[in-house]
Amino acid sequence: MFLQIEPQSDVPIYTQLTQQIIEGIASGQLKSGESLPSVRALAADLGVNMHTVNKSYHELEKKGMIRIIPKSGAVVTGPNDLGVTNAQIQQVERMLRPVVAEGLVVGLGAQDLQQLVQKLIKNLS
Amino acid sequence: MFLQIEPQSDVPIYTQLTQQIIEGIASGQLKSGESLPSVRALAADLGVNMHTVNKSYHELEKKGMIRIIPKSGAVVTGPNDLGVTNAQIQQVERMLRPVVAEGLVVGLGAQDLQQLVQKLIKNLS
DNA sequence: GATTTGTTATAATATATATATAACAGAATG
DNA sequence: CATTCTGTTATATATATATTATAACAAATC
């Protein structure tokens, strides 16, 4: 895969995996219906422990982005056709709040923040 | 102060403090030049340890949002008059990236994300 | 001069992170 | 159908992080 972990980072490995897989889905590198590598295979590929990958997969499942089929594998479950749930919006908002606050305090304006969002959307699409 | 910590949260207490103080600065509840409570006073107020507050203050100082005057106290140092540094922009971008990615994957569009940012800016100003 | 301040140090405890093995039972595959 | 692969579960260990508890120090404040 396209995953690249930084063992030295202060971000836990399983979080790095979760975020990068989400970015992979957002950017279309991982398409809906596509299978993820087995936890053992990906762990061996990255040189990390099986349980670390497993933890990431379960985090992704909790977020509703993949489906884990017991004793079988994990499959990407793209954007829900039924639309975005309130819980998902609130989750994004909860993550976004401290980012916007920090941006404002360091002196970024509304336009600057909007511009950053646009740039990231472009990078992730 | 206006701080409210959740001891049960998965977010570390010192991070909760850091984020809420940043929000306080962003919203003008804490103004530039204003003094923060002493680490001991705030710790007693919140029912947490002095070192937990101290850790938060140093995190804020590292971000350039307060200035710690040794053996004296901590003072809010509003938005830098010299403008936003590249490091600060990159920091915000690094925080923003996984949020935008998650938003996109759950089905939010560019407009939805922009709208969320606008809403948060409004709430924090 | 007494109090308050951030600083530093040490220690203890709890939780989180990551790894290492191992075994199990269902799924997939030949 | 037997082998292999899968996620699951369990146990154990090591390290890092988070939090609290005390204590002492020296500079700033009152």
Do residue A65 and residue B105 have CB atoms under 8 angstroms apart? yes
Q: Which amino acid is at B9?
A: S
Footprint of strand C on the protein (CB under 7 A): A 7, 12-15, 47-52, 69-72; B 10, 36, 38-41, 50-51, 54, 57-58, 68-74
Question: Per residue of chain A (125 residues), what is the pLDDT tens digit?
Answer: 899 999 999 999 999 999 999 999 999 999 999 999 999 999 999 999 999 999 999 999 999 999 999 999 999 997 776 789 999 999 999 999 999 999 999 999 999 999 999 999 999 98
Q: What is the DSSP string of chain A?
A: ------TTSSS-HHHHHHHHHHHHHHTTSS-TTPEEPPHHHHHHHHTS-HHHHHHHHHHHHHTTSEEEETTTEEEE--S-TT---HHHHHHHHHHHHHHHHHHHHTT--HHHHHHHHHHHHHHT-
What is the residue whose two structure tokens read 């509840």? B29
Cα end-to-end span (Å), chain A: 18
A103 touches strand D (CB under 7 A): no
Rg of chain B (C-alpha set) = 16
Show the tokens assigned to A125. 């699409």
CATH no. of A13-76: 1.10.10.10
